[in-house]
Amino acid sequence: MSVTVDGDDIEADDIVLVATRLPASDDPTKCKVSLRVITIAGTVIVGAKVTTRLANCKTIAQSSLVLNGVHEPTTTNANGIAVLELARGVTIVITVRTRDEEVELTYTVPDAASGDATVEV
């Protein structure tokens, strides 16, 4: 079997691709989101600081608002990944800070259990 890896052809007898899934949150009202931070060249960024805040308030019942829908600040691991546990169905702003720059993105957290997600920044 012939495959291409980073532009070079290689020969391999067996190739095994293993899908990884985040374990479900213990809290059914929350969703685990894997955030991978990379450079434009595809190099992972280790130790980037990741913070979240609500983009807007979400009413979940009359006179009730989601206030704890965001994750505590964290940093990316050796693979450039930070796992966030966020309230389902809310829109958040994710801020990623490195030594050189800061990036913000607005993200709507999936509202269904099957919607656990990976976001790449």
**Cα–Cα distance, 59 to 77 (Å, whole number):** 34
Q: Which fold has domain 31-120?
A: Immunoglobulin-like (2.60.40)
Mind listing the pLDDT tens digit for each residue in 70-86?
678 899 999 999 988 88
**Cα–Cα distance, 3 to 17 (Å, whole number):** 13
Mind listing the pLDDT tens digit for each residue in 10-22?
666 666 655 566 7
Q: Identify which has the larger pLDDT, 83 or 8.
A: 83
Q: What's residue 76's pLDDT?
A: 93
What are residue 74's DSSP bridge partners? 50
Q: What's residue 3's pLDDT?
A: 58
**Cα–Cα distance, 92 to 107 (Å, whole number):** 5
Predicted confidence (pLDDT) at residue 98 exceeds the cutoff of 50 = yes
Rounded (to 5) percent helix, strand, coil in the chain: 0, 45, 50
Average pLDDT, the chain: 76
Can you tell me whether residue 97 is helix, strand or coil? strand
- CA torsion angle for 75, 36, 23, 67 (degrees, to 10)? 60
Domain boundaries, the chain: 31-120
Confidence band, pLDDT 50/70/90 cuts, at residue 1: low
**In a 10 Å sphere around its CB, with 0-12 CB exposed, 13-18 middle and 19+ buried, how is residue 87 labelled?**
buried
